[in-house]
């Protein structure tokens, strides 16, 4: 549960410790016991969360990539404010659909809203529209399960060919060239992709389009377009499939790969292959540009970076909310929750859950935008 590390982080941010203990049960976390004071980070952080007029229950859905972060945040927020936040994590496509049908207070997506989705949002955002608030960053990791191979380097072209069925065996010459000292087995490659519409798919294929267009002749998007391979629902489904299959490889958010899977380092053309870590992802995200207009903060990521230590296959998850016209009964709780997760305490929990916090310049704009929601 990472309570010791998270407690120290919360205390360093000035959180007020209160009595009692709350077990943080976010998916993908480790058990390391409690702190010497007997209080969990959730309890400590809860003391500094501003609830304002938050009440009732919030329904939300969307990106499964950020669900481990949402779970950790929800524990703290519920402890502090008594508001139940039910986040399903059904995938970005499902989240945007639910938002534009008025079924949820906010949605999570690994891709910014498309123009047609913004237009549809105006029907549920009275006098306003849906906007993108970048909240969580991280690498799109390539988790793999190949007996006897603990370190694996791939480049964009090889990754594209593997997921398009053009490289089908782990001892292929292209993989051997990138891993001259590895004992690559004569084993069929089993690539896993998402069966549901997913922003993780969108970001993964945007990377391939930007860096290996010749080897990835697809237009991209939330729906998987290449033929063949194995399909599974959600990042958790892909991770589980890879774990159970010798010879498998799949793309997923790093927090789903950290237990039981090795991850690929990418040869970007930098001085050394770059591992999928939160720090390396942050270096790439810091190079992003805000391309949204008005209160929308959609980002353009630089997938082709060759900077040393910058992991290029990254995603940013957005919380999608109405800038104006939010429902009166859920607006106070929505604003309080978003202010918490965009604040120092909320962003401070991300690294312990294998995510990357937003760069200072970006999160400052997010906080200002949240204050103006109505």
Q: Does residue 351 or residue 265 have the better pLDDT? A: 265
The DSSP element (H or E) to which 284 belongs, if any, is helix 278-285
Is residue 34 scored above 80 in pLDDT? no
Burial classification of residue 275, based on how many CB atoms lie within 10 Å of its CB (0-12 exposed, 13-18 middle, 19 or more buried): middle
Is residue 227 scored above 90 in pLDDT? yes
Q: Coil, helix or strand for 182?
A: coil
Q: Which superfamily, per CATH, for 3-136+319-371?
A: Periplasmic binding protein-like II (3.40.190.10)
Kindly report whether the global pTM for this prediction surpasses the value 0.85: no
Split at pLDDT 50, 70, 90, the class of 47 is: low
The 10s digit of each residue's pLDDT in 231-278 is 999 989 999 999 999 999 999 989 899 878 999 999 999 999 999 999
**Distance between first and last Cα of the chain:** 36
Contact 41, 6 (CB under 8 A): yes
Total Cβ atoms within 10 A of residue 1? 20
Is residue 21 scored above 90 in pLDDT? no
The 3-state DSSP composition of the chain as helix, strand, coil percent (nearest 5) reads 35, 20, 45
The 10s digit of each residue's pLDDT in 306-349 is 999 999 999 999 999 999 999 999 999 999 999 999 999 999 99
Query: Structural domain boundaries of the chain?
Result: 3-136+319-371, 139-284
What lies within 8 Å, CB to CB, of 284 at 6+ separation is: 301, 302, 305, 307, 310, 311, 312, 314
Total Cβ atoms within 10 A of residue 31? 8
- Percent of the chain topping pLDDT 90: 78
Q: Do domains 3-136+319-371 and 139-284 have the same CATH topology?
A: yes
Q: Coil, helix or strand for 283?
A: helix
Q: Give CATH for domain 139-284.
A: 3.40.190.10
């Amino acid at each position: 549960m990472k309570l010791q590390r998270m407690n120290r982080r919360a205390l360093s941010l000035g959180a007020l410790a209160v009595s009692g203990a709350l077990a943080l049960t976010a998916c993908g976390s480790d058990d390391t016991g409690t702190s010497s004071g007997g209080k969990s980070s959730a309890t400590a952080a809860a003391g500094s969360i501003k609830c304002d007029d938050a009440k009732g229950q919030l329904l939300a859905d969307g990106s499964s990539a950020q669900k481990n972060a949402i779970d950790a945040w929800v524990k703290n927020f519920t402890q502090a404010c008594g508001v139940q936040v039910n986040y399903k994590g059904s995938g970005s496509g499902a989240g945007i659909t639910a938002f534009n049908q008025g079924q949820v207070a906010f949605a999570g997506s690994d891709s910014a809203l498309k123009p047609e989705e913004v237009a549809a949002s105006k029907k549920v955002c009275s006098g306003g529209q849906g906007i993108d608030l970048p909240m969580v960053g991280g690498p799109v990791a390539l988790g793999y399960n190949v007996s006897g191979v603990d370190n694996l380097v791939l480049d964009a072209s090889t990754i594209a060919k593997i997921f398009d069925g053009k490289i089908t065996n782990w001892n292929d010459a292209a993989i051997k060239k990138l891993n001259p000292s590895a004992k690559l087995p004569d084993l069929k490659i089993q690539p896993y992709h998402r069966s549901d519409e997913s922003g993780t798919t969108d970001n993964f294929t945007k990377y391939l389009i930007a860096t290996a267009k010749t080897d990835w002749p697809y237009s991209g998007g939330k729906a998987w377009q290449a033929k063949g391979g194995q399909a599974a629902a959600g990042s958790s489904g892909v991770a589980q499939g890879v774990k159970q299959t010798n010879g498998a490889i799949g793309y997923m958010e790093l927090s789903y790969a950290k237990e039981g899977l090795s991850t690929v380092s990418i040869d970007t053309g930098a001085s050394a292959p770059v591992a999928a870590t939160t720090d390396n992802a942050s270096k790439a995200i810091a190079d992003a540009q805000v391309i949204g207009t008005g209160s929308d903060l959609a980002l353009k990521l630089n997938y082709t970076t060759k900077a040393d230590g910058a992991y290029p296959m990254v995603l940013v998850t957005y919380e999608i909310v109405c800038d104006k016209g939010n429902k009166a009964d859920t607006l106070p709780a929505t604003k309080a929750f978003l202010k918490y997760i965009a604040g120092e305490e909320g962003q401070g929990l991300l690294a312990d859950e294998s995510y990357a916090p937003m760069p200072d310049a970006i999160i400052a704009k997010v906080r200002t935008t949240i204050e103006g929601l109505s």
